[in-house]
Amino acid sequence: MSEKLNQLKEILGEVTDLRNAGAVLGWDQQTYMPQGGSEARGHQLGTLGKLAQIKFTSDEVGQLLEDLRAEFAGVDPGTDDDAAMLRVVSRDFEKARRVPPEFVVEVAMVSTRAFEAWMEARQKSDFSIFRPHLEKVVELTQRYISFFPPADHPYDTLLDDYEPGMKTADVQAIFDNMRPKQVKLLKQIAAAKQVKDGFLYGKYNEKKMDAFSVEIATKFGYDWTRGRQDRAPHPFCTTFSVNDVRITTRFEKENPTAMLFSTMHETGHALYELGCKQEFDRTPLMGGTSLAIHESQSRMWENLVGRSFAFWEHFYPQFKKLFPAQLDGVSLRTFYKAINKVEPSFIRVNADEATYNMHIMLRLELEIGMVDGSMQVKDLPEIWNDRMNAYLGVTPPNDAQGVLQDMHWAGGSIGYFSTYALGNIVSAQLWEKINKDLPNLDDEIRKGKFDSLLEWLRSKVHVHGRKYDPQDLVKKVTGSKIDSAAYVRYLTKKYSEIYGL
């Protein structure tokens, strides 16, 4: 290894340390920090973010990158990890150097205050509490876009941060192709005999549900010596190193089993991070290559595994023993249909697979509207409710179940939501390939065994970290770029069987 490459890796390790320290503070903010600590936490996050930004965008890093690009000219980044790191770092550097360190501090302060305001607003179901903070977030987002050269659409700049190489027009084309097929399926389901699921909403013991969720995460392969689970207002997964990846969950009295599927979802994210090559730790290659690929992992474990009939053939007897009164007289088939019931609902994270993408399409439209100025923050609750009614036929009864349900805007994460639906699509593409490579997968799941599945994901997806761009990774693994056909096939087959279509 050249001396200059060593120098670069040392600096990048320090930058990663600063960012991961900020991630620890962010995790604490959402789990244990007292409400009164928010202002100080904003300063702390701002300081760490500023130091990381200054160190990363220094002239020294720029010169090292220039020298090393010449040194590695002709080396294939698809096969050489160091060449891949240079490609990724060069791209990150060119973007980061456009953003002033002072702006990083301002974003940290504004988003910290916004998160606290969002929690209060959601608790009181009062958008007016959050509105001024969201207006400031949108203003900062528009300023951020201004740091970059004009794109085909201003939203492209934001989307590229979460889904490298993807354009707004690409996402809209994928959604436009998929939407009529999902709407057709939803209409067919609505006309069919409806599934009974009232038993899912009774009183379930929280500790028992938590213990069962932990057992499932363990069976999936979550390494508790390198992770932990805590409670948060909105479940998330966060990474401090390849050997410290944490998840959170929440218990909803009105929807108790949501805790179980939330843990499955976040475990999927964590398995991706924990499966990254150890040598990538403290480098920019550590972590998922994009949020769509990340969501493909979480949605796969939550839905394609966790809501499958084979899965519950193994786990339902145990689950029924834990909750005998609630599930008295409920057969495995009835339970399976209930956890897959299709019914338009207010809350995205609890939405069934057939309606979930409609939630995402709504949010994408609102984000684009906020960014290009065609929608004003003050009008969001009304626009939200109108489009929920138009897309799903339901109108949220209050702000908490409507425009305030997600934390992402409070954290400044505008440009993020489309990756959830893209993740659904990728999960089905991967699933078709997995089942070709592992023809006995259903039998293994039926036995409560997930080793082969996890090993396949580790070797094909997780180990690469950010080495490949998302579209390239999907094509490398499945032979096709991101395409909704597999997901439509999956939904149609699954729900035709459940609803007798």
Asked, for residue 309, whether it belongs to a domain, the answer is yes
| Claim to verify: residue 302 and residue 274 sit in the same structural domain | yes
Of the candidates 467, 470, 481, 458, the residue with the CA atom closest to the CA atom of residue 77: 467
For residue 358, the domain's CATH number is: 1.10.1370.30
Total number of domains in the chain: 2
Q: How far apart are CA 451 and CA 305, in angstroms?
A: 13
DSSP secondary structure code for residue 241 in this structure: E
Domain final residue pick, 95, 120, 150:
150
CA–centroid distance for 271 within its chain: 13
Domain membership of residue 161 (yes or no) is: no
- Going by C-alpha positions, the residue among 462, 348, 373, 363 that lies closest to residue 415 is 363
Considering the domain boundaries, does residue 162 fall inside one? Answer: no
Helical segments of 2-126, H only: 3-31, 38-56, 59-71, 81-96, 101-124
Q: Please, is 368 exposed, middle or buried when counting C-beta atoms within 10 Å of its C-beta (0-12, 13-18, 19+)?
A: buried
- Say if residues 247 and 229 touch (Cβ distance below 8 Å): yes
440 in the same domain as 312: yes
Does 339 share its domain with 473? yes
According to DSSP, the residues that pair with 247 across neighbouring strands are 229, 237
| 72-76-80-84 Cα dihedral, nearest 10 degrees | 80
Give the C-alpha separation, 327 to 71, whole Å. Answer: 65
| Residue at 114 is within a domain | yes
450 vs 250: CA distance, rounded Å: 25
**pLDDT, average across residues 392-409:** 94
Residues 177 and 142 in one domain: no
Tell me which residue of 139, 195, 1 sits closest to 82, measured CA to CA.
1
pLDDT digits (tens, 9 = 90+) for 440-474: 999 999 999 999 999 999 999 999 999 999 999 99
* Structure confidence at residue 332 as a pLDDT band (50, 70, 90): very high
- The reply to whether 115 and 199 lie within a common domain is no
What token pair was written down for 20? 């991961």
pLDDT (0 to 100) of residue 349: 84
| Beta carbons of 62 and 97 less than 8 angstroms apart | yes
Residues 206, 235, single domain; the answer is: yes
Report the percentage of the chain scoring pLDDT > 90: 95
Edge-to-edge strand order for the sheet containing 229-231? Answer: 229-231, 244-249, 237-241
- CA geometry: angle at 440 spanning 435 and 444, to 5°? 110
* 236 and 344 co-located in one domain: yes
Same domain, 86 and 226: no
Based on the domain organization, do 8 and 61 belong to the same domain? yes
Q: What is the pLDDT of residues 48-103, one digit of tens each?
A: 999 999 999 999 999 999 999 999 999 999 999 999 999 999 999 999 999 999 99
Q: Are strands 229-231 and 244-249 parallel, antiparallel or unpaired?
A: parallel
Domain boundary among 80, 115, 150: 150
Under 8 Å CB-to-CB from 171, ≥6 apart: which residues?
A: 159, 163, 364, 418, 422
Q: Please say which residue of 123, 150, 177 terminates a domain.
A: 150
Residue 392 lies in a domain: yes
Environment class of 92 (CB within 10 Å of its CB; exposed 0-12, middle 13-18, buried 19+): middle
Give the orientation angle of helix 418-437 with respect to helix 353-372, to 10 degrees. Answer: 140
| pLDDT value of residue 350 | 85
Q: Encoding tokens for residue 476?
A: 């490398």
Tell me: pLDDT of 1 over 80. no
Within this chain, do residues 85 and 177 fall inside the same structural domain, yes or no?
Answer: no
Give the pLDDT mean for 323-341: 97
Q: Are residues 443 and 360 in the same domain?
A: yes
User: Of 116, 266, 273, 302, which is the active-site residue?
Assistant: 266
Percent of the chain topping pLDDT 70: 100
Note the pLDDT of residue 25: 96
In this predicted model, what pLDDT tens digit does every residue of 214-257 receive, in sequence order? 999 999 999 999 999 999 988 999 999 999 999 999 999 999 99
One-letter-per-residue 3-state SS of 263-324? HHHHHHHHHHHHCCCHHHCCCCCCCCCCHHHHHHHHHHHHHHHCCCHHHHHHHHHHHHHHCC
User: What dihedral do alpha carbons 226, 295, 22, 263 form, nearest 10°?
Assistant: -50
Its domain, for residue 389, covers 168-499
> In the chain, what is the greatest distance between 2 CA atoms, to the nearest angstrom?
70
Residue 95 lies in a domain: yes
On whether residue 158 sits in a domain, the answer given is no
Q: Return d(Cα 319, Cα 335) in angstroms, integer.
A: 11
Average pLDDT estimate for 15-34: 96
Report the residue count for the chain. Answer: 501
Determine which helix (DSSP H) or strand (DSSP E) holds 358, and give its type and residue range: helix 353-372
**HSE of 87, CA atoms in CB hemisphere, 13 A:** 18
266 assigned to active site: yes
Q: Is residue 281 part of a domain?
A: yes
Give the tokens for residue 110.
């504004």
**Same domain (yes/no): 483, 397:** yes
